[in-house]
Structure 1
């Protein structure tokens, strides 16, 4: 047991002795050598002596070359021979060793030590200056002026910043200093751009002002508005908007007048209001209609304002323009296949729904002989109303189904009529409206919708004057003999209506099959067997002969405003005179 302990003691003592000897030996070694991990001027001199370090430096200096890197891939070099480079050693290497604590050498195994020795190089100053002047960076063909960063023209990707061109204009003083510093530490290379040895552009791609300008341009030109006109598509994007840009008081904006020109062009291209239309009648005839108040009519001012606002806000969308009036569909045939066809000549109308005939009937239109002809043209149903009273200057007629399509002219039931069609309208027509049989009016009312086209055509514009024959003498009585002068005009009209001589709308009753109406004997008013037009004219404020513009009063809340005049933006071809209010009923 004691022998084993002695062995352990001997081994430990021996190991400790060896370690101590190694430690002390290395401590002694590092009194004249560099620590482990010692770097001088970037070169590793670990465990080297001063002499070995100097010899290595001398050997390198004899073959020393400094590579000089410039812009555009240009390079040049300076060798030790070019400038007569020599090394003169002072105490720099010895001083490094003196700063070492030899007994702390184990620390250097884990710690790197770096030193710079810059006083050991000498060279010919004149040779150095001459070499600097001959560097390729100063040759005129290698010098290019810098260019500022700038904005590109508009592209599919908007406006872009074109990076600056730094150029290759050298700064001699800075190149001189950079090369000098590199030579003095025997550096292998130097980058002139990193040392800022060139002039630079004043505005680069990171310029905040330039970036803000780009963003402002792209904010406006990045808008995409898509219009769909039936099968046609119009796209408004930056390729168009770029030409609308203006700068006012330093602020980027768009020119509203140029936007208006764009909207005007769309209107001229796609508006159909006021344009002639080809229409195929139920009878198979193709007619041309140029009158009326129907079609696409763009609100140019409103659409311009809306478009300017969208672009300023940078909003893109699929858009339908603002309209004063709309049609059933886009294209040349904007009437579509759901409409009412009114033939004034045959006094017959047809109602089509999705191309199918769903109803037809005879009717009575405006009285031609008194200037109340129903206006021809293409119109749209303004609105529909049940159970209303149509009022004029001298009549008030209750109707159950009211469907106006041209101001105060429309279709409605006429319960006071017993017959329709034929040529009744020539002398015993309405004040302009289309009088329908009550049951037919109810059916048609159920089919038509607001805005649905109404096509009116044909009819006679005048009635030949007929001379009275000897066998049928004209009544010799005068209006004064037939009307009690003490009655008011309204009372006189009411008496004639009650007597069956006038319809509720103020028009004369048509005698069936030539039989003249008889006046009851108890009626104090003596009336002629026929009611000539001239007798009706003598009644104060009765239905006028000369002034056809008697306007029925329709409830205000149901009145739909129809443009009474065409603004400057209206198409040149206006479909007839839509401003004249034609009497109805």
Structure 2
């Protein structure tokens, strides 16, 4: 019978050591499934080999027992204990998450891989009301300190917009001090330099949003707008466009729409038919000059202003016709072939249809002191069997006057209507029995007038 061969003793020892190391490794891996690895920290607090609950309690106790010393310009200006400002650290959930994220199998190399720090600053809370009282108690008087100013766009007296760099001041607010305290405590610092609590600018010269706004302004300033209307061509001056650009409360570039509207009004006063006298070929007097009234074309100052504002925001390069309102655009002084003519000097009214005189009648215009206002108007309202209500500036009494027909043509209560109370029409009747500005018409003619007139028809009075 053969003798059993035994392994060399050194092999046995090696195997036992290997098994022992393996056992220790697995025991360690199991242990570090519920305990933090070596060299683990929660902020400044070491939590190595602690359970999440133990780590939470240790962190809270450590932070609440700390004292923070305040310095400024190398001078000690005060201190405070963290429990005096209601400091707390709600880290239980964070610790539970951190233990799940760690790799327990790597515990042997954790001794050599450097510190593993869990940032707890977001979990640190302090009573901001207490901190607000801490600012003056440290001798900080913000009214005697320089404020911090964000980098921003500024418009100078010449209307030029440029970037003003941020300036760093030395004021301290409760918010900035609270943030500095949290950062100091969260990193384990026992002292806080008040310079770290100075209010910092939120907008820097190189910030993307500021650069974008500056680029937008340059784009807006490159706008070119030419308006072509009624044979005229007007290019809005570049300086005018630049003057309209302003900065709102949030430092964003905007366009002053009211100023644009005023500019359009100035164009209307210079070019628009609504604002200019016109030559008119009258029935009795030949060519006469008629003052502006409510008839005529104009650039719509509101709708067109919106388009111009939009063009400037887009940095547009446009040549276009503006938004036109009113009547008679492109017709010059011509009012068409259908119109009402009132000759105050001759106290006559004429109605033309298709260029032909279809009705003429004597009238009574406004009495001296309440004269009919000459001008180029147009019909905007027509009513039958209605009451004229107003105030008689001659008798200084209110009145209510029934009429069978009413044709309104201006915005000052002037109109054409029958006047059964008049004993005569034409001649000098207006001097003693004139109206308050309306065109009094014989009742026997007013029905025909009402049939011939239509909405929008020009009413030319001179």
Query: What is the TM-score with the length of structure 1 in the denominator?
Result: 0.34
Q: Which structure would you say has the larger Rg?
A: 1
Alignment TM-score, normalising by the size of structure 2: 0.41
**Greater percentage in strand:** 2
